[in-house]
Amino acid sequence: MCLIGLLLLDPTRTRHFVTIKLSVLRYGEMQCITVSGLGQEMVSSSITYALYTKALSVAQQHSLFEVEKGTPLSLESLGDRSDVDAWEAWARAESTKRMICCMIMVDSFFAANLGTSPIIRLDTLKLYAPCATYLFAADDAGRWSQLDTSRSFARQVTVESGLEPSACFPMGLGSSSLGLSTLLSIAWLRLADVRHRTVLTNKCLAGSETLIPGKIYKRDAAGGALVPILQQIYSNYGGNLGLGQPNHMIFWHNMCICLTADLDMFETGAGRQGRDSALLAIDGIGKWSGTPAARRACLHAAQAYKCMVNKKVTDGISFLSETALFNAALVLGFYSYVSPTAEDEPSFLEPDVFELLDDVDWGKVGNEGLPDSDVSRPTQDPAAHFIRSGGQVKFAGMRLPGGFGSARKVILEYVGLLEEVGKWKAGEFCRILRTLSDSPVDLDP
């Protein structure tokens, strides 16, 4: 796991060190890997992926992701020990829990970046939730004892990946940043697993249903639980998501975008498979843009931007947050590009224009625009009204009348943000977005 982290953080500077350490591993004697003859991208993909699959496979064989198969973790007896002994025993158990959480996050990272199905079996996944962040950060036994006067360390809370959302979200998990990251990673693994089994095998389907992945996911038993799970995450931990680490909220927004927009279609529209395929994809985006799902995706895209604008320097930026910002730029940029020119619409002169960056109460929005939306439900919430009925929009005070000019403004806003906060793949993402903002002729039929 440490070698995986080193390669991910800085492949260039750590390649030599990792090569030496790999020489002592007995993973098929690693004869298939010759680092000296591989480029940086190949090193990162082949060596890291080999370590990742081996580490998670071994962990799964030893039931680290199925707490019910092992000896129950019980720390009640520590209450009779001295603070030092109790703290040391608790710290060992807590460190193991956190290692398991990190393995789940690694599986989520690879599933997101490679488009593969998870290695971890989700139907049996059940783990002990990590403790509150402030408790784990205690410097010594005395401080730990002061912070946990109620001996809450003895109450072991489990997190599982079942079909019933109510079974997945223990109370108090919001006090742990790692716990929220793990929970969101489990939700992402569920989404990746369903996508791998459904959307990738249903690309031949015709009609607007294929433009909104969530409609295809509903055909699967596990896929039908995705919307309730994401809603339950916000319902239980919305305050922690919005006021805590912004990477958590962006992660949630990105999963909602994945339910309401076919990101493969947007990447194709950006030129991934050539001009002819791009034109066909943009035609599909034009059909998608008139749906409530499209308007909800755009709202999530704008709110992801807002989260990153408001983040503190100490918050940092995760791998998936950069990808989420890139996805958001494509969704909102292409939506603006294919939208009818506002001057041609009767609503152009209306003064009431919806600002995409206004605060949104997702509890009031509910499932509006999602596959399970109830259009008969009355609503007076501005965001829900926009998702249901549409209308003219603003982004950071800029009115978006539609067409290439609007798309260019939006895309450049995201480029500026990625250049400011990006760390991992921001350079590549910005290059693609700048190409889109500078080359409208390439997209014209």
CA 324 to CA 427: how far, in whole Å? Answer: 15
Query: Could you give the 3-state DSSP secondary structure of residue 400?
Result: strand
Helices assigned H by DSSP within 165-291: 177-197, 213-217, 226-243, 246-260, 263-269, 275-288
Tell me which DSSP letter residue 24 carries.
T
pTM of the model: 0.83
Structure tokens at 85: 């002994």
What is the token pair recorded at 244?
A: 């805590």
Contacts for 94 with CB less than 8 Å, ≥ 6 apart: 130, 131, 136, 153
pLDDT at 27: 43
Read off the pLDDT of residues 277-323 as tens digits, 9 standing for 90 and up: 888 888 899 999 889 999 999 999 999 999 888 877 767 777 788 88
The predicted structure's pLDDT at residue 41: 47
| Rounded CA separation 270/443 (Å) | 9
**Which structure tokens are listed for 379?**
């609503």
- Using one digit for the tens of pLDDT, what is the confidence trace for 56-74? 888 888 888 887 776 666 6
pLDDT digits (tens, 9 = 90+) for 144-172: 888 875 555 555 556 666 555 555 566 66
What local confidence, expressed as pLDDT, does residue 387 receive? 92
Of 70-74, 172-176, 364-368, where does the model show the most confidence?
A: 364-368
Amino acid, res. 400: L
Predicted local distance difference test score (pLDDT) of residue 338: 87
Pair 331, 262: CB distance under 8 Å: no
Q: Which of 260, 384, 246 is nearest to 328 (CA)?
A: 260
Question: Which tens digit of pLDDT belongs to each residue from 85-120?
Answer: 888 888 888 888 888 888 898 898 888 877 788 889
Q: Is 203 exposed, middle or buried (0-12, 13-18, 19+ CB in 10 A)?
A: exposed
- What is the Cα 434 distance to its own chain's centre? 24
pLDDT of residue 264 exceeding 60, the answer is yes
Instruction: Quote the tokens at residue 246.
Output: 């912004």
The Cα–Cα gap between 277 and 301 comes to 24
